Structure 1
Amino acid sequence: MTLSTDDSLDAPETVSTLRVEKVKGSHLFKIMGYSLQRNIERGKFLESATFSVGGYDWSITFYPNGYLNAQDDYTSVFVCLKTEAQLVQAQPSFTFLDQDENPLSEKRTTKVFKFNNNVNKDADFGFLNFVKRSTFESVLKDDCLLIRCTVTAFKDFPVEVEPACPLRVPPPDVQQLSLLLEAGYGADVIFEVNGVTFNAHKCILALRSQVFRAQFFGPLKEKSDTIIKIEDMDAQVFKSLLHFMYSQTIPEFEEINGSEKKHMAQHLLVAADRYDLERLKIICQNILYNTMDTSNVVALLSLAEMHNCIHLKTGCLKFLACPEILGDVVATKEFQCLVRSHPLILKELFELARSSPKLKDVGASVGI
């Protein structure tokens, strides 16, 4: 049967899309005991652990005495593509840092380099004459050399074919709920926190939190004509908690300094755990994880243990397992008090840092 032009059927229009995105990531390569490695042969290198950027694996190779054809007294540094791939386009940069991670020297390229470790084995890029040894060896502290490599990879996402959509549907505007909180329209519950009152809406709170759902609509629900008093919580923390439940954001964090931010994140994590707000709890863990140092790691580990924060606890244990950090921390009263209250923490640390004599002394004092 032959179709005439009038019998033809129109196929729906389709659209194909290829997405190319920049994915940026960094890796810090710490070389402890640099003086023991500085005199290795020219052309010999030290290699970092493998790290991932843009779905590809990379590593840093550092030549303390330079690559074979480098100038005298110069170091060489390269980033190597470890994943077998036909072609990966990326822009690398390298930075020498001091002990406080402030940049001492930096080199970057403005060109996009093509990594290919299949055909021509052209899988690394870097700087043959990076930095003179004489310019940085005099400022090293604790015999530790820090090199940060930042890789900006250009990643192609698969071509997607789908029916054309004539209109783009805008994302839902959850910020309208925060306006409802600020205006107080239709509020049907009042909270009192340290003398400060807050109006809110039971349905929204119950939607976000199983704890509030049980409190308002469960068998032991609160009477509708009472003011609910919140004990053991700062008013500003509860205000931030309410704001998050309405908007899923905590913009107050962008307006406060580092120490106040850490303080607020700790208290907000406790509140998130109290009201079963898992997303807020994860946000607070990430903030605290990124502000961890020797002055607060014991307090963060205790907080993580009390509130079942696995991500934060794992980060604290790995941080403490570093020999140069562990020796200073285990001697403190705060750490010894923590392991007496939670001896399992010490057992987990043993798995990561078995060779520390100071750790064994603390273990013996608590019967481990």
Structure 2
Amino acid sequence: MSLSSVASMSTAETTSTLRAVKVTGSHLFKIMGYSLQKDIAKGKFLESASFNVGGYDWLIKFYPNGQRMTKNDETSIFVFLKSEEEYVKAQPSFIILNQRGNPLSERHTTSVFTFSDDNEGFGFLSFVKKTAFESVIQDDCLVIRCTVTVFKTFPVEVEPAFPFHVPPPDLQQFSHLLEDGYGVDVTFDVNGQTFSAHKCILAAKSEVFRAQFFGPLKEKSDTIIKIEDMEVPVFKSLLHFIYSETIPEFQEINGSEKKHNMAQHLLVAADRYNLERLKLICQSILYGSIDRSNVVTLLSLAEMYNCNHLKRACLEFLASPEILDEVLASRKLKVNP
């Protein structure tokens, strides 16, 4: 190879990238029987179970009477890093909730702190005054939501010359198929309203639909399939989930009670078509709305449709003697001798 040809060769170009991301997660710290624990000495704390955000383990320490240097009537709260790490950058915030998930008081910071496994944690020395929430919490249960945003950087990567970007999968393409009606091959009749869909997509997501369309007892291709015992909004949400892996935010539903009922009906529909992820989503919605008026209904629902997470939450709620006595007195719950 001649010197002139070497000189004319282009130099390969590489790229290195330092990738920074932030990961946010929340943990609900429920203190049942709060009135029995609120009078511990100043400087003493109630500790949550550990939880994971961003690949690291954390825990909450709540001081009902504050740390030693706080004023009377003030509480303190901190989040601690439990993982054995030299340092982790994170931003905490805290909200006190009532039983329906509505905020009573909240504190957040714009600062990013550097945590390590041997520090004192970060949070608020003066979190909120006890008089701001003790008179309005329900069922003697204090609920604190801690949100942690972790800032992570990944090692420098050396990428090949002239890299190109591969976009993530776009599930919205399936939603467009449903909305536009391209290639639909099955029609459902739900209380007089018809919905068109695609057998292959439904069968891929639900083994119940797979058996219905392609099994030994498959439906005739020229018939309209009638859906019994299901309301139109519920079936519409079910289809939306199958095509997009998300559920509508119930924007058209007014009132928390109606949203709660919608989640119950959607859970039943998810069980009917063996959509386990949708069942978990519905359980998470119902989990945050348990109260005296619906705990018996939700417990029965959990028993009937094998919803272990929801069942456990209902039993924990009924663990309070005061609540259990009230439910028994209302004759909504029968206990076998």
Shift of 1:30: 3.4
Deviation track 1:32-70 (CA, whole Å, cap 9, x = no partner) reads 464875484x5x413232342532322314162x54444
Deviation track 1:139-198 (CA, whole Å, cap 9, x = no partner) reads 477895847363534342542636447222223333233333233333322222222222
Deviation track 1:201-239 (CA, whole Å, cap 9, x = no partner) reads 222222222122222222222222222222222233222
Q: Which residue of 1 aligns with 2:155?
A: 159
> How many positions carry a matched residue from both structures?
327
| Residues 1:181 and 2:178 are matched in the alignment | yes
| Residues 1:245 and 2:242 are matched in the alignment | yes
With over 3 angstroms needed to count, the CA separation of the structure-2 counterparts of 1:266 and 1:60, relative to structure 1, is same
| Residues 1:309 and 2:310 are matched in the alignment | no
Q: Which residue of 2 aligns with 1:363?
A: 336
Deviation track 1:78-124 (CA, whole Å, cap 9, x = no partner) reads 41525243223334445667888776665544433333453xxx423
Q: Which residue of 2 aligns with 1:114?
A: 114
Farther off after superposition, 296-305 or 327-336: 327-336
Structure with bigger RCO (C-alpha 8 Å, 6+ apart): 2
Instruction: Assess if the C-alpha contact under 8 Å between 1:22 and 1:153 holds in 2.
Output: yes
CA distance in 2, matches of 1:245, 1:97: 32
Instruction: Assess if the C-alpha contact under 8 Å between 2:89 and 2:152 holds in 1.
Output: no
Please list, as runs of the form range in 1=range in 2, the aligned pairs for 1:1-368 lying within 5 A after superposition: 13=14, 15-28=16-29, 30=31, 32=33, 34=35, 38=39, 40=41, 44-52=43-51, 54=53, 55-62=56-63, 64=65, 67-71=67-71, 73=72, 75=74, 77-81=76-80, 83=82, 84-93=84-93, 107-118=107-118, 122-128=119-125, 139=135, 146=142, 148=144, 150-156=146-152, 158-159=154-155, 161=157, 163-164=159-160, 166-251=163-248, 253-257=250-254, 258-336=256-334, 362-364=335-337
Farther off after superposition, 136-145 or 183-192: 136-145
TM-score by length of 2: 0.78
CA distance in 2, matches of 1:363, 1:175: 51
SS of corresponding position for 1:50: coil
With over 3 angstroms needed to count, the CA separation of the structure-2 counterparts of 1:188 and 1:145, relative to structure 1, is closer
Q: Which amino acid aligns with 1:197?
A: T
**What CA RMSD, in Å, does the superposition of the two structures yield over aligned residues?**
3.7
Bigger Cα Rg: 1
Instruction: Assess if the C-alpha contact under 8 Å between 1:76 and 1:130 holds in 2.
Output: yes
Instruction: Assess if the C-alpha contact under 8 Å between 1:294 and 1:325 holds in 2.
Output: yes
TM-score by length of 1: 0.72
| Residue ranges of structure 1 left out of the alignment (5+ in a row) | 337-361
With over 3 angstroms needed to count, the CA separation of the structure-2 counterparts of 1:204 and 1:108, relative to structure 1, is closer
SS of corresponding position for 2:51: strand
SS of corresponding position for 1:123: coil
CA distance in 2, matches of 1:330, 1:278: 33
CA distance in 1, matches of 2:164, 2:215: 43
Higher helix share: 1
Shift of 1:277: 1.9
Q: Which amino acid aligns with 2:270?
A: A
Identity within the alignment, %: 49
With over 3 angstroms needed to count, the CA separation of the structure-2 counterparts of 1:306 and 1:252, relative to structure 1, is same
| Residue ranges of structure 2 left out of the alignment (5+ in a row) | none
SS of corresponding position for 1:90: strand
SS of corresponding position for 1:363: coil
